Amino acid sequence: MLKKYVLGSLLVVSSLASKANDLPKSRTTSPKEENEKSSYSKLTDDLQRFARKLIGIRYKWSGKTLKGFDCSGFVNYVFAKFGMNLVHRSSDLFKMGSHTSLEDALPGDLIFFKINSSRKDEVSHVGIILESDKNGLKFIHSACKTGVSISYLKEKYYTTHFAGIRRIIDGLKEGK
């Protein structure tokens, strides 16, 4: 009888121990890191919301006001609203921040293209990543034909001219 009791107790303890291994591990991020993630997420949400309000504003070469935007003027206008001052040219923006892969792209990252046929090796277009959804990577930009609008990287035109993604918010927040 005692053997059955001991054996039964061992089975219960063993079962509880295996279930404990299935529980989520203790938090690996500090409260400060959680707060920074939350702050970053709020910033990018606000940035996206503001950028979307500008949809439909016409394209204007070298434009950087509500009367019309070129691509980098649009990006500058949106980021300036949140106290982040950027350089104006797409090719100069491409030198800021850190390279980010397509898989690691986050809302608020900048997406770049080599579109200018006379300068095939130079980045000449920029947009702001909004999200990745069932249709792929979605970004907002000011394009010649559509003005401020939303496009997908999977569109053939953008896929063939894709140059890269840069994360600049981290550097701007740190004063780099």
Number of Cα atoms under 13 Å in the Cβ half of residue 63 = 19
Catalytic site residue 88? Answer: no
Of 71, 88, 99, 161, catalytic: 71
The tokens 């059955």 sit on which residue? 4
Indicate which residue of 88, 99, 125, 161 is catalytic.
Answer: 125
71 counts as catalytic:
yes
Q: Could you write out the three-class secondary structure of 109-166?
A: CEEEECCCHHHCCCCCEEEEEEEEECCEEEEEEEECCCEEEEEECCCHHHHHHEEEEE
Identify whether 125 is a catalytic site residue: yes
**C-alpha to C-alpha distance for 111 and 138, rounded to whole angstroms:** 10
Among 99, 141, 144, 161, the active-site one is: 141
Structure tokens at 118: 């006379």
**CB-CB contact of 169 with 43 (8 Å):** yes
Active site residues: 71, 125, 141
